[in-house]
């Protein structure tokens, strides 16, 4: 008889939450979303070893945004616009995505890609520290999306949670942090990042104003919906 509950082996540095064969199968179902510009963005991620969310999460983000009729999104950590591509498709021609990134090269590349995709008019891209840019905005957002340096995750949640409209979503990528959140022993990429993600996740699941769940695809996507009424 097979033992189906094997304990976590110690001293692993990381793991993938979902079996790669399953992810490949899921990815194979998404051929209809292929476009030359999306494939160029994905090729650049390989060339630059840049951590975009990838196709499975991208489709998930678009679907979440469409499901709540989102028209305004604030992205903490936009890179060169890959995740924004999916949100921008969802919000429609009157919608707005506020993008933020510390690296001016990313803004430059995002402008190129999203102009070709016909989505740049929906984008308001700021170069700088995302948390500072956010505190200079005042309106509530339909979605706040967190993909900054992982040590800042609790801070971003605390900033964002009161600025999400009722029925709106807080979404955070990498909340399983390559499995480290579930390991007794691990080697972190940056000391303290796993602890920060653990704190972040616990804060959200303990918040009575939100219903939260984690989709384990890729590196774990947390979705927290602000309750209505």
Ligand X SMILES: C[S@@+](CC[C@H](N)C(=O)[O-])C[C@H]1O[C@@H](n2cnc3c(N)ncnc32)[C@H](O)[C@@H]1O
Residues that bind ligand X (CB under 6 A): 51-53, 77-79, 82-83, 100-103, 106, 129-131, 147-149, 152
Q: Supply the minimum distance, in Å, between the C-beta of residue 106 and ligand X.
A: 5
Q: Supply the minimum distance, in Å, between the C-beta of residue 76 and ligand X.
A: 7
Q: Supply the minimum distance, in Å, between the C-beta of residue 82 and ligand X.
A: 3
CA distance 170 to 212: 9
- 151: three-class secondary structure by DSSP: helix
For ligand X, the closer CB: 53 or 143: 53
CB 58 within 8 A of CB 82: yes
Q: Angle, nearest 10°, between helix axes 82-91 and 104-116?
A: 40
The rounded radius of gyration (Å) of the Cα atoms in the chain is 18
Non-local CB neighbours of 194 within 8 Å, separated by 6+ positions: 150, 177, 180, 181, 186, 188
Q: Supply the minimum distance, in Å, between the C-beta of residue 219 and ligand X.
A: 10
For ligand X, the closer CB: 53 or 91: 53
For ligand X, the closer CB: 56 or 224: 56
For ligand X, the closer CB: 186 or 193: 193
* DSSP label at residue 215: E
Phi-psi region of 81 (alpha: psi -120 to 50; beta: other; left: phi over 0): left
CA distance 84 to 62: 9
Q: Supply the minimum distance, in Å, between the C-beta of residue 37 and ligand X.
A: 13
* DSSP label at residue 178: G
Which residue, 169, 159, 154, is CA-closest to 212?
A: 169
For ligand X, the closer CB: 42 or 167: 42
For ligand X, the closer CB: 79 or 179: 79
Q: Supply the minimum distance, in Å, between the C-beta of residue 25 and ligand X.
A: 22
Q: Supply the minimum distance, in Å, between the C-beta of residue 184 and ligand X.
A: 26
Paired strand residues for 125: 99
* Token pair recorded at residue 111: 């402008």
């Amino acid at each position: 008889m097979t033992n189906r509950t094997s304990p976590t082996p110690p001293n692993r540095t990381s793991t993938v939450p979902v079996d790669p064969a399953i992810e490949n199968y899921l990815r194979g179902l998404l051929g209809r979303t292929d476009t030359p510009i999306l494939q160029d963005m994905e090729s650049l991620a390989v060339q630059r070893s840049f951590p975009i969310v990838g196709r499975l999460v991208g489709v998930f983000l678009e679907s979440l945004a469409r499901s709540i009729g989102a028209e305004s999104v604030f992205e903490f950590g936009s890179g060169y616009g890959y995740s924004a591509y999916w949100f921008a498709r969802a919000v429609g021609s009157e919608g707005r995505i506020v993008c933020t990134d510390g690296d001016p090269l990313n803004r430059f590349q995002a402008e190129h890609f999203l102009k070709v995709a016909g989505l740049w008019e929906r984008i308001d891209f700021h170069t700088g520290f995302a948390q500072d840019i956010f505190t200079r905005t005042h309106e509530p957002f339909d979605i706040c999306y967190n993909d900054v340096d992982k040590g800042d995750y609790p801070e971003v949640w605390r900033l964002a949670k009161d600025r999400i409209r009722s029925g709106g979503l807080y979404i955070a990528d990498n909340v399983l942090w390559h499995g480290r959140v579930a390991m007794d022993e691990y080697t972190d990429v940056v000391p303290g990042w796993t602890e920060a993600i653990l704190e972040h996740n616990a804060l959200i699941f303990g918040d009575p104003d939100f219903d939260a769940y984690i989709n384990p695809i890729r590196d774990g996507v947390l979705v927290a919906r602000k309750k209505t009424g």
